């Protein structure tokens, strides 16, 4: 695993736990975690269960005993690391968004396609696809339970930047993150809408906004996410993105990604309305799915809660008895389960780098639309 921090902890949890709950066809060995700082990398290895640590990802990729590279670094390094790993014949799991630019994502997808011809697999870490309630929602839509999709609303709402004096971390610098709320959490909303409906966003019209334009810079020697110093610097990414999308079927979708929605901690929400029914999901209630059956008699209609904890629901049979809730970290174990199965079968997992490229094109189109005053922009590919 290259990189550590918040996502390093989450991915490590997935690698460590999945083999103990799922009957995997291959046994993952958590061999080495890579970081820039030797002491921090060694501490991460010790805490999360990696056999060793290193500071040079190129040397690790060149090793014959490494089969798969898991990339959890900031977006500005995704392309270089992933392309090098794929060209070296290593399977790759890369955190979202796939890259910082469409051009980088195109290069990554092209390399992945070439590598696939040699049996090398690659996957993007849109982990929320693996929440059982989300996977169940996709199943219901695919079965036609909602009928023709007429409208989608997807939003990812957080408030962790409400404090205007919070330090200027890498997530607020375009050269590291590519974009702000749009790419960091908006990418999840886009992917979820497309994954559940089975459609793609064909064009967008939107606006992005930086609400707090200047913040305290990090103190010297505190790293990419350390403590604030006395100097101030410019925020070069968005804090809020609002946009409308047209799906391939012609249905309209609305999207919001905000780090300034007061009181919302991690509210990834999606509501899908169809001719025969509707679905509603909120990550802050991740074991629940609300379902509306419009075919029922009028005096019996209404959203009903489905508790997605039954053995027949996606992924759930590997865990606890009915009604015993799953949490945020379980999606990462499900991700490992699906990726390892694909490696063993020699099949390409989803979401693919091509899927990641498409989301990158949607993100780029939103930025382009905002710069042009909200005009409609198509998402080629």
- Going along the chain from its start, the domains and CATH numbers come out as 6-128 (3.40.50.720), 129-351+358-371 (3.30.360.10)
Q: Using the 8-state DSSP alphabet, how is residue 381 labeled? A: -
Minimal CA–CA distance to 28: which of 338, 351, 378, 374? 338
Separation between Cα atoms, residue 191 and residue 125, nearest integer Å = 11
pTM for the whole structure: 0.95
**pLDDT, tens digit (0-9, with 9 covering 90-100), for 227-248:** 666 789 999 999 999 999 999 9
Average pLDDT, integer, range 302-307:
98
CA–CA distance, 146 with 277 (Å, rounded to integer) = 4
Burial class (CB in 10 A: 0-12, 13-18, 19+), 250: exposed
- Whether 50 shows a pLDDT value over 80: the answer reads yes
At 98, the pLDDT band (50, 70, 90 cuts) reads very high
CA dihedral 171, 172, 176, 182 (to 10 degrees): 80
User: What is the mean predicted confidence (pLDDT) over 245-254?
Assistant: 97
**What end-to-end distance do the CA atoms of the chain give, in Å?**
30
77-90 pLDDT per residue, tens: 999 999 999 999 99
Tell me the three state secondary structure of residue 26: coil
Q: What is the pLDDT of residue 223?
A: 56
* Residue 218 scores a pLDDT above 90: no
The structure tokens 């391939």 sit at: 248
Q: What letter would DSSP give residue 138?
A: H
Confidence of residue 8 (pLDDT cuts 50, 70, 90): very high
d(CA 11, CA 169): 21
């Amino acid at each position: 695993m290259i990189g550590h921090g918040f996502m390093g902890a989450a991915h490590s949890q997935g690698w460590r736990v999945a083999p103990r709950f799922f009957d995997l066809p291959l046994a993952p060995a958590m061999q080495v975690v890579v970081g820039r700082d030797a002491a921090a990398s060694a501490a991460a290895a010790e805490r999360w269960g990696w056999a060793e640590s290193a500071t040079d990802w190129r040397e690790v990729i060149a090793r014959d005993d490494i089969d798969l590279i898991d990339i959890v670094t900031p977006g500005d390094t995704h392309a270089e690391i992933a392309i090098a790993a794929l060209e070296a014949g290593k399977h790759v799991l890369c955190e979202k968004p796939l890259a910082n630019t469409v051009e980088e994502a195109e290069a990554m997808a092209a390399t992945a396609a070439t590598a696939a011809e040699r049996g090398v697999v690659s996957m993007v870490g849109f982990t929320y696809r693996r929440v059982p309630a989300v996977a169940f929602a996709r199943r219901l839509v695919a079965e036609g339970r909602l009928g023709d999709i007429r409208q989608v609303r997807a939003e990812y709402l957080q408030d962790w930047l409400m404090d205007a004096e919070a330090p200027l971390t890498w997530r607020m610098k375009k050269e590291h993150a590519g974009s702000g709320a749009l790419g960091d959490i908006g990418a999840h909303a886009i992917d979820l809408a497309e994954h559940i409906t089975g459609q793609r966003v064909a064009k967008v019209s939107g606006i992005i906004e930086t609400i707090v334009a200047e913040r305290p810079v990090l103190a010297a020697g505190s790293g990419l996410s350390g403590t604030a110093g006395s100097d101030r610097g410019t925020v070069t990414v968005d804090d809020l993105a609002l946009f409308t999308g047209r799906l391939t079927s012609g249905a309209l979708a609305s999207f919001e990604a905000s780090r300034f929605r007061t009181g919302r901690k991690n509210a990834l929400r999606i509501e899908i309305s169809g001719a025969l029914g509707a679905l509603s999901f909120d990550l802050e209630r991740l074991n629940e799915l609300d379902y509306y059956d419009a075919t029922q008699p009028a005096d019996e209609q209404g959203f009903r809660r489905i508790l997605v904890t039954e053995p027949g629901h996606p992924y759930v049979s590997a865990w606890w008895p009915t009604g015993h809730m799953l949490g945020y970290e379980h999606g990462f174990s499900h991700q490992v389960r699906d990726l390892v199965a694909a490696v063993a079968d020699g099949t390409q997992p989803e979401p693919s780098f091509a899927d990641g490229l498409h989301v990158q094109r949607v993100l780029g189109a939103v930025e382009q639309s905002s710069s042009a005053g909200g005009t409609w922009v198509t998402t080629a590919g």
